[in-house]
Each structure stands twice: as C-alpha cells, then as structure tokens.
Amino acid sequence: MGIKAVFPPGSQASAEQIKVSPGIISGNHLFLTGMTGSNADASMSPDPIVQIHNAFAKIESILNEANLSFDNVVEMTTYHLDIKDHFDLFNEIRSEYVVDPFPAWTAVEVAGLRREGAIVEIRVIASIETAA
C-alpha cells in the first residue's frame, strides 16, 4: 500500500509551513498528528468545551478525508495541561466520539503544549481494515 499523506480541505498550506502531515497512511493504519482545539481562524478559545470539541472535529475531518470514522480508531493518546482541572469534562466529550470496541487510551499530564493556550492535544491511530 505504501505511504500516503492525508490533508483535509484547506490544511495543506499550513501543514507545509511546519513540514507535517495531518495524517499518514502506512500499511493498514492511519497515524494522525496530535490535534489541539484551535478555532478555524487559528485562535485558541479559553473555553475548554470549545477546545475539546474542536480537537475532535479536526480528527474527524482527517479520518473522513481517508474515508474512515471514529469506528476505525484503535489507539488514542491525549496530552493534558492541568489534567485534574478538565479530565472529567474531557472524558465526557470523548465519550460522544468513541465507539465500542473502544480504542486503547493513554492520558498524560504534560508541562506544556506547542500551541499557546491549548489545554489538550489528541493523537490517534486508526485501522484502515474494516471491523469484523
């Protein structure tokens, strides 16, 4: 199958600036770059609910561009600033997106994220194979 970059509409120019692909298909998996919850204009909302939904929406757009959905997500790693301040909220919103069988998940508290104002960054791996 080889390696193929996945760019949702409108993402290629900004991704090329920092030399990153939002998603990479390699073998039978799609590997997504970590997504923060910035708005469409690249600003960062101070509202954790907005940030978390935005991050999941970005992930969904990459999955959709590869003709996949959250049904295909097999692994999720989340990086959190002050995890205790928003973990329950994050998990509540995450539960709106993940489906059974639920992906493996690791949540890590970090000292900082690249995007100023971001409280979370989400990275996923999706299987391209159809679920049995």
Which residue range is the domain that position 14 belongs to? 3-127
Q: What is the pLDDT of residues 12-43, one digit of tens each?
A: 667 677 788 899 999 999 999 999 999 988 89
Residue 58 lies in a domain: yes
pLDDT of residue 86: 95
Residue 132 lies in a domain: no
Residue 44 lies in a domain: yes
Residue 62 lies in a domain: yes
Q: What is the pLDDT of residues 44-101, one digit of tens each?
A: 999 999 999 999 999 999 999 999 999 999 999 999 999 999 999 999 999 999 999 9
* Whole-structure pTM value: 0.92
Asked if residue 101 has a cis previous peptide bond (ω within 30° of 0), the answer is yes
Tell me how many domains the chain contains: 1
What CATH number is given to the structural domain containing 76?
Answer: 3.30.1330.40
Residue 120 lies in a domain: yes
